[in-house]
Structure 1
Amino acid sequence: MSATSTSIGDLVSAGALEFGDGYRTRRSEHGRPGFRIIRVADVFDNEVHFDGPDFVSHTQASAIGSKVGKTGDILLTTKGTVGRVAVLPPTEEAVVYSPQLCYFRVLDHAKIDQRFLRYWFSSQEFWDQASYRMNNTDMAAYINMADIRSLKISLPRPSDQQRIAEVLGALDDKIVANTKLSRTIDQFLAAYYSRITKNSPTVPLGEIASVNPETCKPLVGGSLRYIDISSVGPGSYEFPEITSWDDAPSRARRQVRSGDTLWSTVRPNRRSHALNLSSDELLVGSTGLAVLRPYGIGYSYLYESTKTPEFSAYLENVAEGSAYPAVRANRFEDAPISWPESAARDSFEMAADPLRKMQHSNEVENQYLAALRDTLIPQLMSGKLRVKDAETLVESVV
């Protein structure tokens, strides 16, 4: 498979690609109604979250210009956690990108396939160049716009680009289908919970669950899967790779078990929380996470109780500190939890348990599909693997 070498800058100059960074806002420009600001923390690999609290007033539309997000934009994080890539999905609200993100918008699809470009940002060719150009400071790693513009990209013929994108896209389509099913489960259980808890009394969380019940110590020469607060988003967390305890940060202290609910203790307004149903005994959480383990109720009911806007509002009210608000563990114990009669709770748990397990199974499948996709990307991009062989492999798993 032949390929032509060009650069991001050349594609821009040729009118095939639009490329830019985000809009640097002033606090005085913030306000509603407005454009929701998408920040680095909102961009995960292959997913964009829309839970950030900040908006830029619509009065700034002319100043923002093309930096207003468009469906299909490829987003790349350029500061902090550099190299996360996602595509902006359809959204009913207007968004604008922060300066720590850059966007890529294909203008000439006859020269470059948009999906191919998105996958290229996960390729070895991209990372070899980006790692070389990356700058590191005491505050954070970053890559500047000039260096991104100079990145070289090997472009196969448009038809080959499309075939590569279709193979990889089939895996992503299955991941998207699984994710949509999980969101439907979330919506159903949230509505069910709201119905059975309407006008019910409350109990302190500490009466039905323990907070941070297990502390683990470093095991010299041992292994762990470390869950950092940055890997936890609203309703999910990135399943960690196995690493050595010898390299683990000092904050790796919270033992995590199946059925535990995880909540970030910092910046509770971001609603970073997740349910863990993995039985992997190597899972260890950061001390920046509160691990909630039920003992007076099923795990599904406890988790649903901590997903509500009321629970988030409580945490925001008791958080301490202005620049970096955080919630102490004993504050979690005092959180009010809706407590309807036992028959209603048991009925909810019977309905929720198989649905949450199905959701977990889908997440495990997504991890496998994503790993397969990431394995295929460098082989397809380099031409080491024929597209036809990749198609056969993908057809066997989707």
Structure 2
Amino acid sequence: MGEGIVTLDELAGDNVLEMGAGRPRSEGAGLPVLRVADVLEGRIQATSQTSESTIPPQTMGPKVSRPGDVVLTTKGTVGRVAIMPSGGPTFAYSPQLCYFRPVEDGPLHSRYLYYWFKSTEFWGQAAALKAQTDMADFMSLRDITSLTMTLPSVTEQRAIAEVLGALDDKIAANDHTAQLCLKLADTRFAAAVRDIPLGDRTFGDLADVFGGGTPKSSMDEYWNGDIPWATPTDVTALSAPYLFDTSRMITEEGMAACSSKRYPAGSILMTSRATIGAFAIAKVSTAVNQGFIVVNAKNSDHQWWLFHEMRARVSDFLSHANGATFLELSRGKFKQFPVRLPDTAALKSFSEGVGPLHDLAAQAMTETEKLTTTRDSLLPLLMSGKVRVRDAEKVVEEAV
């Protein structure tokens, strides 16, 4: 099959694409299950909660993951897509996932297919299909395979994938840098806090502790201003704990009408409702909703120590949370927790040691934000043919 407009079903009929949906469990001993929550944008990140399939591996046939598979989430959170990496564990696909496996040297390049699932051509057709049920969003394999795809030559597909892939590779490298810096900072904290008992001083003694609020959603004049306003979703979506922007903004009127202050850059934000213990350092001045505890040390030398101490104490926070509808940790209760605290010299040394690590991590994530914007701008233009690969290559060279 050559260039033109095709469906995935036609590609499968020509035996150049293998695809399927995951399989429900049955009796037997099996493989770890890859779930929707394990498929993030562009990467697979299986969690410790990944359960074990009860399907014997030898009976699963093609529904076992292989390196290079393009994996798409199809229920609940529809449309996250990733490519199975090489060298990782083998999974059984859950029923809420579909996999796509182009044949090697066939007319469909796997990374081009990955980007097609992120394109406006795909979403222009898929947006209506995913909301067909009265319950959670869902797209069946049959729905997906009926969608039409513009299929350029394999040479063109490879060129498009290489341009976009160069940006994604740099983004991945930045993410690795940020995670490494964070791990080094955590390691330094673990060494510094070892053998230090809980002291007499509490979070309330050492820090100013605040919360947030929400302006009335019915008041248009409160919204779409220029003041960042963070929600827990803004924080849980981060790949590293540095918040540069928020999905919603409020006006000065909205700021005056809610119980949040505008907290300075450097503030520690911790989610305290439903999801307790997701963290971010605000890199911009921001307001927050009522789902946060906001912490600023009274002594600036304590700020990084308190950030790491809070991250290490999430299990304690959870054990003291309560609520009928969802768990919540009150600010009053948080302020009562005692803190492990070294002497002044050790605190200063720790702050001076981990501060540059966090700065480097945040710098990497700042670059990632710019690269992501460039990629997301180029993707629809390249996939639609509105921008030539050679012109996009110049943009990418400047970006990376």
Shorter-chain TM-score tier: 0.7 to 0.9
SS of structure 1 residue aligned to 2:311: coil
Greater C-alpha Rg: 2
Answer yes or no: is 1:14 the counterpart of 2:18.
Answer: no
Q: Go from structure 1 to structure 2 and tell me whether the alpha carbon gap of 1:25 and 1:330 turns closer, same or farther (over 3 Å shift).
A: farther
| Pick aligned residue for 2:309 from 305, 312, 316 | 305
Q: Do 2:119 and 2:379's aligned partners in 1 also have CA atoms closer than 8 Å?
A: yes
* Structure 2 equivalent of residue 291 of structure 1: 294
Q: Do 1:226 and 1:243's aligned partners in 2 also have CA atoms closer than 8 Å?
A: yes
Matches within 5 A, 1:208-219: 208-215=206-213, 217=215
Q: RMSD in angstroms over aligned alpha carbons?
A: 3.5
Identity of aligned residues (%): 30
Q: Go from structure 1 to structure 2 and tell me whether the alpha carbon gap of 1:293 and 1:81 turns closer, same or farther (over 3 Å shift).
A: farther
Structure 1 distance, partners of 2:162, 2:72, is 21
Report which of the two has the higher share of strand: 1
Structure 2 distance, partners of 1:76, 1:67, is 13
SS of structure 1 residue aligned to 2:347: helix
Structure 2 distance, partners of 1:74, 1:99, is 15
**CA deviation after TM superposition for structure 1 residue 380, in Å:** 0.9
Q: Do 1:69 and 1:95's aligned partners in 2 also have CA atoms closer than 8 Å?
A: yes
Q: Go from structure 1 to structure 2 and tell me whether the alpha carbon gap of 1:167 and 1:196 turns closer, same or farther (over 3 Å shift).
A: same
Matches within 5 A, 1:67-78: 67-78=63-74
Q: Deviations over 1:81-101 (max 9, x none)?
A: 322222334565444444333
Q: Go from structure 1 to structure 2 and tell me whether the alpha carbon gap of 1:5 and 1:123 turns closer, same or farther (over 3 Å shift).
A: same
**CA deviation after TM superposition for structure 1 residue 394, in Å:** 0.8
Q: Do 1:254 and 1:291's aligned partners in 2 also have CA atoms closer than 8 Å?
A: no
Matches within 5 A, 1:38-77: 38-56=34-52, 60-62=56-58, 65-77=61-73
Structure 1 distance, partners of 2:152, 2:258, is 46
| Pick aligned residue for 1:179 from 158, 175, 180 | 175
Answer yes or no: is 1:152 the counterpart of 2:148.
Answer: yes
Structure 2 distance, partners of 1:381, 1:51, is 33
Runs of at least 5 residues in structure 2 that lack an aligned partner in the other structure: none
* Structure 2 equivalent of residue 389 of structure 1: 391
Structure 2 distance, partners of 1:257, 1:96, is 46
Aligned residues: 385
Structure 1 residues 322-331 or 65-74, which shifts more? 322-331
**CA deviation after TM superposition for structure 1 residue 329, in Å:** 4.0
SS of structure 1 residue aligned to 2:6: strand
Q: Deviations over 1:193-226 (max 9, x none)?
A: 1111101022543333344344464552542545
SS of structure 2 residue aligned to 1:275: strand
Q: Go from structure 1 to structure 2 and tell me whether the alpha carbon gap of 1:185 and 1:108 turns closer, same or farther (over 3 Å shift).
A: same
Structure 1 residues 91-100 or 10-19, which shifts more? 91-100
Structure 1 residues 79-88 or 114-123, which shifts more? 79-88
Runs of at least 5 residues in structure 1 that lack an aligned partner in the other structure: none
Letter in 2 for 1:291: V
Q: Do 2:277 and 2:314's aligned partners in 1 also have CA atoms closer than 8 Å?
A: no
Structure 1 residues 51-60 or 388-397, which shifts more? 51-60
Q: Go from structure 1 to structure 2 and tell me whether the alpha carbon gap of 1:92 and 1:85 turns closer, same or farther (over 3 Å shift).
A: closer
Q: Do 1:235 and 1:273's aligned partners in 2 also have CA atoms closer than 8 Å?
A: no
**CA deviation after TM superposition for structure 1 residue 353, in Å:** 1.2
* Structure 1 equivalent of residue 203 of structure 2: 205
Letter in 2 for 1:201: P
Q: Go from structure 1 to structure 2 and tell me whether the alpha carbon gap of 1:241 and 1:230 turns closer, same or farther (over 3 Å shift).
A: closer
Structure 1 distance, partners of 2:164, 2:222, is 40
**CA deviation after TM superposition for structure 1 residue 261, in Å:** 3.0
Structure 2 distance, partners of 1:148, 1:169, is 24
* Structure 2 equivalent of residue 134 of structure 1: 130
Q: Go from structure 1 to structure 2 and tell me whether the alpha carbon gap of 1:222 and 1:229 turns closer, same or farther (over 3 Å shift).
A: closer
TM-score (norm 2): 0.82
SS of structure 2 residue aligned to 1:141: coil
Q: Deviations over 1:146-169 (max 9, x none)?
A: 211211111111111111111111
Q: Go from structure 1 to structure 2 and tell me whether the alpha carbon gap of 1:59 and 1:383 turns closer, same or farther (over 3 Å shift).
A: closer
Q: Go from structure 1 to structure 2 and tell me whether the alpha carbon gap of 1:333 and 1:146 turns closer, same or farther (over 3 Å shift).
A: farther
